């Protein structure tokens, strides 16, 4: 009858996909990446951006239940916008 609760609904970010979740009694690690169905767009002007590189980065999040340490590992994309000349 019962199933294991999942934190997936808490990490339902638009244009991101959850690659994996590792839970223990006091640590939660959530790995997410960009949804490849969407183009990488400039956050300043909204135009399509070229990619310079991708790298994995880690952010700490607020405690989740008994997990005092919550890490979100995400794929950051660095690029350059030819339209407004901004970098991300
Ligand atoms: Zn731009």
Residue pLDDT, tens place only, 12-63: 788 889 999 998 889 999 999 999 899 889 999 999 998 899 999 999 998 8
* Ligand 1 geometric centre to CA of 51 (Å): 13
* 5 CA from centroid of ligand 1 (Å): 40
Q: Which helix (H) or strand (E) holds 3?
A: none
Q: How would you class 26 by CB atoms within 10 Å of its CB: exposed for 0-12, middle for 13-18, buried for 19 or more?
A: exposed
| CA 45 / ligand 1 centre spacing (Å) | 4
For residue 52, with 0-12 CB atoms within 10 Å meaning exposed, 13-18 middle and 19 or more buried, which class applies?
exposed
Distance 69 CA to ligand 1 centre (A): 35
């Amino acid at each position: 009858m019962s199933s294991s609760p999942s934190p997936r609904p808490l990490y339902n970010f638009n244009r991101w996909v959850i690659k994996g979740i590792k839970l223990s009694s006091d640590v939660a690690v959530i790995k997410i990446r960009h949804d490849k169905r969407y183009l990488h767009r400039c956050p300043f002007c909204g135009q399509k951006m070229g990619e310079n590189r991708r790298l994995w980065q880690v952010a700490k999040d607020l405690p989740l239940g008994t997990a005092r340490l919550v890490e979100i590992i995400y794929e950051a994309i660095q690029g350059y916008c030819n339209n407004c000349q901004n970098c991300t």
